[in-house]
Amino acid sequence: MTALPSFLRLRRMQPNALLGGILMLVLGLTALTGLLWTPYDPLKINILQRLAGPSAAHWLGTDEFGRDVLSRLLAGAATSVWISLLTVTCAVTTGTLFGLSAGFLRGWPDRIIMACNDAVLAFPGILLALGLLSVLGASKYGIILALSLAYMPSVVRVVRGAVLSLREREFVEASRVMGNSELYTMLRHVLPNCTAPLIVLATSMFGWVLLSESALSFLGLGVPPPAPTWGNMLAASRPYIGQAVWLGILPGLCISLTLLGANLLGDALRDHLDPRLRGLK
């Protein structure tokens, strides 16, 4: 893992990595701000100020209930980022656990885990999350659970694939010969070597999860209103988009910039950490 520090050296950075990094940093700061402080209460209704355009008091205008859009965007960032982070963490931890066990133990644990994995992968995209949400009901933790389950199989595949090739390598053999237990070998020697593909996957996954969460909220199956998320703000803007353009543009712009950041950073990390592609640039 000596790759990361050199990657973080600013002058060696690719412009797309820099842009991606900056976008993600801005997102993080926005979410943190939304968590700690917003100019107005994002839920405070003010009927007299309905659909008011941007002004000195309300920088980004107000929505159909007279709520401050900037405050709602900030609070929405906090919610969306929190849900995405938690989902990615859940998917990566459980996926790593299963992938590691499947690849290292092989035999019947491998067969059972991969059969379950294939069952989940047999559902296209967001469909599994939709199905699970019909069972769990629309709530913050329902989404996290549904999306974690939907995104876990890709982690299992990546980790299992890495482990299967790693376990045949000499340094793993050496650890065994030295008398280290299988568990120790797995955690000390195999797992750290899976981190590069995992970091790449987790970065891109953050973007996909945020997009899925926004889509579900847009459909009304995500975080229930009045709590703001970018997805449900967009959904609520639909009837007013003719009179209040900013309501339809701002939340979507936030989602797009976040996705752009995650995609650029994910690509840059992959180019850097995937040795197969390193000579290419």
Partner 1 sequence: MFRFILGRAAMAVPTLIIVAVSVFIMIRLIPGDPAQLMLGDQATPETLAEARRTLGLDHSLPVQFGLWISAVLEGDFGTSISTGKAVLPLILDRFIVSSSIVLSAVLIASLIAVPAGMVAAWRQNSLSDLLIVGGATLLLSIPSFWLGLLLMLLFGLKLGWLPVVGYVPVSEDPLAALTFSLLPVATLVLVETGVITRMARASTLEVLRLDYITHARAKGLSERVVLLRHAFRNAFAPTWTLIGLILGNLLGGIAVVETVFTLPGLGRLLVDAIFARDYPVIQGCLLFIAGIYVLVNLIIDLMYPLFDPRVTAE
Contact set with partner 1 (CB under 8 A): 115, 118-120, 122-127, 130-135, 207, 211, 214-215, 218-221, 234-235, 237-238, 241-242, 245, 248-249, 251-252, 255-257, 259-260, 263-264, 267, 280
User: In the chain, how many H helices and how many E strands?
Assistant: 12, 0
Q: Give the shortest CB-153-to-partner 1 separation in angstroms.
A: 13
Q: How many CB atoms lie within 10 A of CB 142?
A: 20
Hey, what are 236's tokens?
A: 């609520």
**Residue 243: helix, strand or coil by DSSP?**
coil
Q: Give the shortest CB-150-to-partner 1 separation in angstroms.
A: 11
Q: Whose Cβ is closer to partner 1: residue 45's or residue 138's?
A: 138
DSSP element (H, E) containing 36: helix 15-36
Q: Give the shortest CB-251-to-partner 1 separation in angstroms.
A: 8
Q: Whose Cβ is closer to partner 1: residue 38's or residue 204's?
A: 204
Q: How far apart are CA 223 and CA 53, in angstroms?
A: 26
CB 63 within 8 A of CB 51: yes
Instruction: Output the furthest CA–CA distance in the chain (Å, rounded).
Output: 77
CB 88 within 8 A of CB 221: no
Q: Whose Cβ is closer to partner 1: residue 7's or residue 123's?
A: 123
Q: How far apart are CA 57 and CA 76, in angstroms?
A: 20
Task: Provide the H-helix boundaries in 137-244.
Answer: 140-166, 170-177, 182-185, 195-219, 230-237
Q: Give the shortest CB-111-to-partner 1 separation in angstroms.
A: 13
Q: Give the shortest CB-218-to-partner 1 separation in angstroms.
A: 5
Q: Whose Cβ is closer to partner 1: residue 126's or residue 190's?
A: 126
Hey, what are 203's tokens?
A: 């970065």
Q: Give the shortest CB-154-to-partner 1 separation in angstroms.
A: 12
Distance of CA 81 to CAs 33, 115, 131, 196, 245, Å? Answer: 12, 32, 23, 23, 25
102: Cβ contacts below 8 Å, ≥ 6 apart: 109, 110, 113, 114, 156, 160, 163
Q: Whose Cβ is closer to partner 1: residue 145's or residue 172's?
A: 145
Q: Give the amino acid at 146.
A: A
Q: Whose Cβ is closer to partner 1: residue 148's or residue 175's?
A: 148
Q: Give the shortest CB-178-to-partner 1 separation in angstroms.
A: 39
Q: Whose Cβ is closer to partner 1: residue 118's or residue 173's?
A: 118
Q: Whose Cβ is closer to partner 1: residue 116's or residue 164's?
A: 116
Q: Give the shortest CB-155-to-partner 1 separation in angstroms.
A: 18
Hey, what are 223's tokens?
A: 């975080």
